[in-house]
Amino acid sequence: MTKKKVIIDCDPGIDDSLAIMLMLKSEEIEVRAITIVCGNSPVEMGFSNAKKVLKFMNRLDVPIYIGQSQPLKKKYVNALDTHGEDGLGESFLPEVEGYKQEMDAVSFLKKTLKEEKCSVIALGPMTNLARLINEDSDAFLAIEEIVSMGGCFKSHGNCSPVAEYNYWCDPDAAELVYKTAFDNNKLIHMVGLDVTRKVVLTPTILEYMIRLNPEVGDFIKKITKFYFDFHWEWEHIIGCVINDPLAVAYFLDREICSGFSSFVQIETLGISEGQSVVDSMNFYRKEANAVVLNEVDVKKFWTMFIGRLTGTEPDAAIEHDIQG
C-alpha cells in the first residue's frame, strides 16, 4: 500500500521536535519534507534544530527547506522565552553541518504540491502557507489535507486572553489561509488549545518512557527540562503541554480527537489580533472552512506517543497516569 506523503511545516521548537519524532516513527507515513517557518525560533535556528532532531532519529534523508523569516505584516516576535535561547530547551546539542537545500520552502511547496499528492501538518505560524497562496494558490489548493496546530475555541489564549501563539505571531497569514479555504470549500483541521492543553507530559510519563527506552527518553528529557521549568513558573503546573504532537497524532488517527465543522475567521487587528473566531452557532450562516477539534482521547494519544517513540506499548504501570 502506498504511504501517505506529509510535509511538516514547523518552527522547532521543543514540541515541534517531539512531533517530528512521532511522525518519523509512524511507518504508515512518508515524511516528504520538513519546511521551517519563523515562530518559536528564527528560521536559521529552526533549521538547525530540525537537523539535530533528524540526526538523533538517524533520518538525515528527510530534506529540510528554510521558509519565511518574517510574518507577512506584523513585527516578528519569537517564543524563545518558552523554548530556550537555542530553541531546543537549552539542550545545546552539537550543530549538524551543511544540509542546506537548493531551494527555499515556498519554492519547494510550489513545485512539489503540484507534482505529488501531499498533506501538510502546520505546527507553526502559517506564513509559508500564506506566501504559497500569494505566489501560487493552485499549489495550495492541491494540498490533500491541512492539519493546523493553532487557535482556540473556548480555551483561553496563550499570547493574549483570546489568541494562541501560531495565529497571534502571524494573524494575517492565518486569516489568508482560512479565507482561502472558505473561498474554495476546503477544510482546515484546527487542533487548538482546547485539546492540546489536555496533553501534559508529566515527570511520571517521562520517567516511564526513560525506563522503556533510555536513549529516546533521555533525549526527550534533555529537550523538555527547560519547558517543565517554564510551565511551573508561568502556569504553576508540574509537566509541560506538548501541543504539536497532538496535531500529528490526530492526522495519524482521527479518533484521537473529535469536534465539529464550523466557519472560522482569524482576527488581524487590535486587542484580539490572532483570535480564531469559531462560529459554532452559525450566526453568520457561512459554509464551514474548518473542522474544530474540541475533544481528545488522552489515553489514546499517550498510547500512540509512548508506544511509537519507545517501541514498547505502555502497560498497567502507566495506566493511571495517561487517563487525562
Write the Ramachandran bin of 87: left for phi over 0, alpha for psi from -120 to 50, otherwise beta. Answer: left
Cα of 216 vs its chain's centroid, Å: 20
Q: Is residue 212 involved in binding ligand RIB (CB under 6 A)?
A: no
- Smallest distance from ligand RIB to CB 282, Å: 27
> What would the x/- binding string for ligand RIB be over residues 91 to 130, using CB under 6 A?
--------------------------------xx------
> What would the x/- binding string for ligand RIB be over residues 130 to 169, using CB under 6 A?
-------------------x--------x-----xxx---
Distances (CA, A) of 260 to 71, 246, 280, 290: 29, 17, 8, 8
Selected range binding ligand RIB among 12-20, 70-78, 253-261, 315-323, rule: CB under 6 A = 12-20
279 burial via Cβ count (<10 Å: 0-12, 13-18, 19+): middle
- Report the residue from 24, 26, 29, 39 that binds ligand RIB according to the rule CB under 6 A: 39
Cα of 91 vs its chain's centroid, Å: 20
CB 31 within 8 A of CB 60: no
Residues 248-277 that bind ligand RIB (CB under 6 A): none
**Which string of DSSP letters, residue by residue, matches 185-199?**
T--EEEE-HHHHTT-
- Smallest distance from Ca ion to CB 35, Å: 12
Among 210, 208, 228, 227, which residue's Cα sits nearest to residue 218?
210
158 binds, among Ca ion, ligand RIB, none (CB under 5 to 8 A by kind): ligand RIB
Interface residues with ligand RIB (CB under 6 A) are 11, 13, 15-16, 39-40, 79, 123-124, 149, 158, 164-166, 243-244
